Chains A and B, each alone.
Chain A
């Protein structure tokens, strides 16, 4: 019975009293940084989508010549790089930022200023990489940048420099963020929030941080080798010096395959939040969902060479990587079935988040199955470098990751902004996306199996590819329209969307126990958690009878701690009792709660600071100045790099020696 009706209404509450450009440049609030990540990555989504549309328009029919072969190379390189590093990863990071502290009952991340730093590095790195369009030398070596193709010998221009330096800068952002979020999850959980009570999104995000921590250093080194080869004349990728032509491929895919799970696991997590809420059932097989996520991540480090079957590694290597790749389908299949069983017998509500989530379950399965098809080396030899592969990974990343992320956006928009996304416009967005995605990527299976290679900029008629390409192009156009509709929905709903209550969906986790939008300190008092579904325990205890509970939460917390008694019951946030059962006075008691500021509550908040932005800016300029060395202006390059390195270090010292927040005892 418990739905939005019982939740207190905090209409008009503002996340923070501080507004204006300066407050955004200096913010260290994880929710604001999450919003910055979200809107920046959606802007790049528009850019990456436009790049795809130009390519699709070129391929609409045979012998298309909208752009030259060179520009086409730049388009597919930047489309892939943008969508992976500037859209899906940071959009996932938007949810890491916004959700992890809210879901584990914390007031911020472990290192708020490092968090701001990660965002600014992402922003400057993405601008740096796309600056290549302005100088007309956009990266053109594919998102995988295979060396030796990307060495000076074959790619003498600045194109690859923009790509490799841009990725190096973005890597700093991802690594800094991963240390931060891993620490946050390990160390900042509310009392009683055991690991096995964490919401599934937080779990998948936690696993993703380990993938980032362990995978990014490998591409960092691969890129360092490439930089040294291009700038300083080393021989890592010089075949005439005896270098191994597969070195880059191995290093890149040791990073690149875990990267695939970095892109999909957060979306899996979001779907695992949405499905239980709109099925009114606990997630089916919660522990197995956790273990399968861990297993996917673990196996993800042992499958990289399945991207390289065509290079001729020999039967033993091919067999090993074929088997590990097939194995990874097992935990992934477990997840699919668990989502289906979560919905089975539930009271399904087909809201927009639910529609996007179900679409992930259905369509990701298609991409997953085609993935198992090319885990077999003989089959892969037929499919590799054809549009069949393009179809596969777009079903995984667009019909998978992006659907999950859209589910997350529709689900969490009220908590982020205090307003609901419009349902009617959202329905247009959903159906256009659904039709567009399938119309674009389904025919690519056929064009691929009929032999159409990837990355060709044009093709001749009479090869049986025409109709499938025309379908893909019109599907892409529909996706483009869907993107415009979504942008309109966000723009409209930010101003005129319905005011969101604290818990508009009847959800089970902690983030819905606080007002929408969340106050700057998140939780007026840190909650104590006694099960996986703390809010359902209060509002709909009948839903959680089969979920393990502890009556008293974490035993460490009913004690004196640091001279304070902890463990006292707090009634304005939880409309009920710890053991469950609805407090009959909750509605009246909580509808008129006014939002207090952090100062009124005596909660220490971190000072806003501009320093992380400047450290990020100087770092980006330091990396960017390396390009002068490639242009032969070595003295200028070395001078600028040294100057920016000094400025960065000085600003870093200024940051580290200034206090995080007002001193307290």
Chain B
């Protein structure tokens, strides 16, 4: 045993990666189990409702007092899914803009990290707007979180996802504020990198939710 690293600095990390990058992956691993539990419960409770409205089937008397349409609106949710997927693209461009700040090809609006961070936040907020519209229209059609197993598991699952998007938007706006205040450059790429990992993860979860909840009958 001998000693190696000079005392007056932090030694290099074992992997060469920043601690925060390792931690965000550990966090994402944990979040996988969180959403796996939510999605499994939704799937287990599929088709066990004793009252309507139902996600994919009409509900007619005598099960429901009045005839009810299938409640999921797939065209509108396809649009909101597209918006969220586009936000992943703008996130990639935001990270590229921060990493390459000042390099040729990154001038002007389309090379601006502020623009792409703002665009990502706006796309995320648009997705949340779609979700708010969906939730209120469901409530008007008679589906609340208390109505049946579908209502409970649907609102909890998509609500948890929406809460994650909301946290992501706040994170993006915080980065935008830092960018406005002092400018984000290649040295800060990690800050944007870990938020991008989180953002892409939340998008990937939505792909699973969209497929399993909306597309598969």
Contacts and interface: CB of A to CB of B under 8 A. Distances in A.
Contacts of B29: 213-214
A189 B148 CA distance: 52
Contacts of A175: 30
Nearest to B19: A110
Interface string A110-132: 11000000000000000000000
Which residue, of A179, A228, A523, has the highest number of chain B Cβ atoms within 10 A? A179
B146 A218 contact: no
B23 A179 contact: yes
A217 interface: yes
Given A175-B30, A180-B23, A664-B9, A243 B145 contact: no
Contacts of B33: 213-215, 217-218
A190 B1 CA distance: 11
Contacts of A566: 4-6, 11
A217 B5 contact: no
A189 B6 contact: no
A296 B97 CA distance: 45
Given A234-B146, A573-B3, A179 B153 contact: no
Interface string A216-246: 1110111011001000111110001111100
A111 B45 contact: no
A178 B50 contact: no
Contacts of A241: 49-51, 148-149
B179 interface: no
Contacts of B174: 653
A260 interface: no
Interface stretch (B34-42, B112-120, B132-140, B209-217): B34-42
**Interface size for chain A: under 10, 10 to 19, 20 to 34, or 35 or more residues?**
35 or more
B153 A562 contact: no
A24 B152 CA distance: 44
B10 interface: yes
A232 B93 CA distance: 41
B44 interface: yes
B19 A601 contact: no
A235 B145 CA distance: 8
Nearest to B27: A179
B5 A191 contact: yes
Contacts of B22: 110, 182-183, 186-187
Contacts of A224: 156, 160
A506 interface: no
Contacts of A110: 19, 22-23
A183 to B, nearest CB: 4
B30 A569 contact: no
A216 B32 CA distance: 11
B66 interface: no
A553 B34 CA distance: 41
A310 interface: no
Given A187-B17, A244-B44, A524 B37 contact: no
A217 B48 contact: no
A159 interface: no
A90 interface: no
A568 B30 contact: no
Which residue, of A183, A222, A569, has the highest number of chain B Cβ atoms within 10 A? A183
Contacts of B146: 232-235
Contacts of B50: 240-242
Nearest to A224: B156
B152 A236 contact: yes
A234 B41 contact: no
A543 to B, nearest CB: 14
B14 to A, nearest CB: 5
A220 B32 CA distance: 13
Given A241-B50, A247-B41, A534-B1, A221 B34 contact: yes
- 4 smallest CB-CB distances across A and B, nearest first, come from A570-B3, A602-B8, A217-B34, A221-B37
Interface of B: 1-15, 17, 19, 22-23, 26-27, 29-31, 33-34, 37-38, 41, 44-45, 48-51, 145-146, 148-149, 151-153, 156, 160, 174
25 contacts: A186-B15, A187-B17, A189-B14, A190-B4, A213-B33, A214-B29, A215-B33, A217-B34, A221-B34, A228-B152, A234-B146, A234-B156, A236-B149, A240-B50, A242-B50, A247-B41, A251-B41, A525-B6, A528-B2, A534-B1, A574-B2, A601-B8, A604-B9, A604-B10, A653-B174
Given A191-B11, A566-B4, 5 more contacts: A111-B19, A213-B33, A236-B149, A244-B44, A558-B4
